[in-house]
Amino acid sequence: MALDQSFVGRSYPPTDPYEVGREKIREFAVAVGDANPVYTDPEAAKAHGHADVIAPPTFVFAITFKAAGQVVADPQLGLDYSRVVHGDQKFAYSRPVRAGDRLSVTSTIEAVKSLAGNDIIDIRGEVHDETGEHVVTAWTKLVSRAPEEA
Amino acid sequence: MAAQIKYADVEVGTELPAASFPVTRATLVQYAGASGDFNPIHWNEKFAKEVGLPDVIAHGMFTMAEAIRVVTDWVGDPGAVVEYGVRFTKPVVVPNDDRGGLIEVTAKVAAKLDDNRVRVDLTAMSAGQKVLGMSRAVVALA
């Protein structure tokens, strides 16, 4: 099913703040097997100039992808989520995410395409902290695979 | 930012220490909980096969998280990562045995940029296949 092209450029309202906790960062770092002490020890983080423990680079995806959920679930867009795979992912950081951040995401649809029956959507998530400072931008490409021929 | 590697000490072609990351079904269950991604293709073999996959596969974001460790272990401070992007080209298949799968990551400096920044190109392989494409990070060095 072709996606509605009029969605290109559409932005969604900022999400309610996600509060980044030290223990959630620790849980994530343990899950990816990364023992870097800047993720778990505030003193080690301070030694690198960070106000508190920081999160691994890909941690923020959980927050931006949840925000993107309001886009992909928009029934007007017509995306078949059961056939969606993750195509590309990119992050550009102004600073690392750290414990104590209250992060809000503004999602924008950058592109909508159909290629060889696959529906492709590019979503940009701008992540700001509680002071309005930019923290990171996440670009996510989702591909809804064409149904197999009957 | 407090990178431990000096910009002056690297050149185009400098190789970062390579690393391999094992991934088992238990790893994927743990990552599902930590990331909130409970898609059954990452833990339910029956479901994965029904949707045309060879077996349970790792979360793409798990592979992305492992690959950047080669960079963050090199620079010391993960806060030095300025940009990081990948394309998910092939899945990392995780069989239900004692060993699971293995993600093998190599990386080298591909370009020296302004402001003490370098571009690092990463290669991630699993079972002989390239699982990430266009995998690049920009890092601020000392």
Q: What is the pLDDT of residue A149?
A: 56
Within a domain: A135: yes
With a pLDDT cut of 70, the percent of chain A lying above it is 97
Per-residue pLDDT tens over the stretch A86-108: 999 999 999 999 999 999 999 99
Structural domain total, chain B:
1
In this prediction, residues A33-51 reach a mean pLDDT of 97
Per-residue pLDDT tens over the stretch B58-99: 999 999 999 999 999 999 999 999 999 999 999 999 999 989
Domain limits for position A114: 5-21+55-144
Within a domain: A150: no
CATH number for A91: 3.10.129.10
Within a domain: B31: no
Q: Which residue has the tokens 């969605």?
A: A7
Query: ∠ CA(B88), CA(B84), CA(A55), 5° rounding?
Result: 110
CATH number for B101: 3.10.129.10
Q: Is B77 on the interface with A (CB under 8 A)?
A: yes
Q: Which residue has the tokens 């990452």?
A: B42
Inter-chain contact B65–A32, Cβ cutoff 8 Å? yes
Within a domain: A76: yes
- For an interface test with A, give the residue of B41, B70, B83, B102 to mutate (most A CBs within 10 A): B83
What are the start-end ranges of the H helices in A2-72?
22-31, 42-47, 61-72
Inter-chain contact B88–A50, Cβ cutoff 8 Å? no
> Which region, left, alpha or beta, applies to residue B100 given φ > 0 means left and ψ of -120 to 50 means alpha?
left
Q: Which residue has the tokens 């994530």?
A: A28
b/e per residue A30-53 (b: at least 16 CB within 10 A)? ebbbbebebbbebebbeebebeeb
The per-residue pLDDT of chain A, averaged, comes to 93
Can you read off the two tokens belonging to residue A119?
A: 């529906």
Three-state SS at A14: coil
Structural domain total, chain A:
1
Domain limits for position B129: 7-22+60-140
**pLDDT score of B119 more than 60:** yes
Within a domain: A104: yes
